[in-house]
Amino acid sequence: MQRGFLALFVSFLVILPVSVGALHATVIPPPATFPISTPPTSSRQTVNPTSAQLQPAALLIQSNAALASSVTVSDITLAGTAESIAGSDDETGSVLLKATAGGQSRIDLSLSAGVRSEVRSVDGGGSPIGVWSGPDGVQHAISYHNLFTDPSWFFPALTVRRLVNITGLLGSYVGLETLNGQSVHHISFAQPPDAAAGANASIIQHLTQIDLYLDPMTLLPVALSFATHPDNNELLDIPVQIQFSGYQNISGVQTPFHIQKFLNGSLSLDLQVQSATLNTGIPASAFGAEITQ
């Protein structure tokens, strides 16, 4: 029973220490290069983009406009049903997702074995912080190196807008690919490391890498991918991919109503959104009150 519970948490939060032998792991390359891996379900097609519209920054700006052309999103609340899968453990229940433009997020899963939560916020100095808890209610700090990924990964409008607003964002157009039978523009981004990072600059750049897969017709994100890491090894990559479908226009913002999270190539979380509300003024206490680290 305890083994199944731990496996479920690796699937949901993907932030716990894991056995290297059980995972398809990738150690980061030398600092000079940072190739962003293509998910196993995606096959490369040969293209030679010459149009300025295929530059990563241009595609990102167009995707941002497609998601919310005239609406400024300050916060989002999604509610729906959830299925959590970890090996032979398969639980169903409900989910409540919240996120803000300020980099805060909260995930509450109410499943048959109990409530599992993840809360991410920022401290007084602007550094990311986060905790997760299981049915016993005991808090566990999220390793700092796992806080560089976007906290609102379940809501593309906030993720894309946050990328657009990063000064000096490093980007590349990977190519036109096929993801799950659908043609997509694959673009990759990483945040420029702070000059004060020194010897850690290359690692920080690697930890912030994120791939976007855009529908060529609508430029809405079909998927995004990043890497998580064991608590004790930030150099070991565990691939995570989020897939979006069933977009609906909610108060002028394109919102996916089907969200799937894949950990190391296997489906770990399947969310069906039933309601979405924008800009309700979620208080900061909804994210920071439980973080005691």
pLDDT for the residue numbered 169: 94
| Choice between 124 and 276, residue whose per-residue pLDDT is larger | 276
pLDDT tens-place string over residues 67-82: 998 899 999 999 999 9
Q: Under a CB-based contact definition with an 8 Å cutoff, are residues 44 and 198 in contact?
A: no
pLDDT for the residue numbered 31: 33
Nearest partner of 120 among 109, 107, 133, 105, judged by Cα: 105
238, part of any domain: yes
Run of H or E residues at 115:
strand 114-122
Q: Is the pLDDT of residue 272 over 90?
A: yes
33, part of any domain: no
176, part of any domain: yes
Question: To which residue do tokens 């394109």 refer?
Answer: 254
Number of domains the chain is built from: 1
206, part of any domain: yes
196, part of any domain: yes
Nearest partner of 153 among 257, 74, 224, judged by Cα: 224
141, part of any domain: yes
pLDDT tens-place string over residues 211-233: 999 999 999 999 999 999 999 99
Specify the CATH number for the domain of residue 150.
2.50.20.10
Task: Provide mean pLDDT across the span 180-201.
Answer: 84
**Tokens describing residue 94:** 């409900």
4, part of any domain: no
2, part of any domain: no
Task: Find the domain containing 96 and state its range.
Answer: 44-288
pLDDT band at residue 53, thresholds of 50, 70 and 90? low
Averaged pLDDT of the chain: 84
Predicted TM-score (pTM) of the model is 0.82
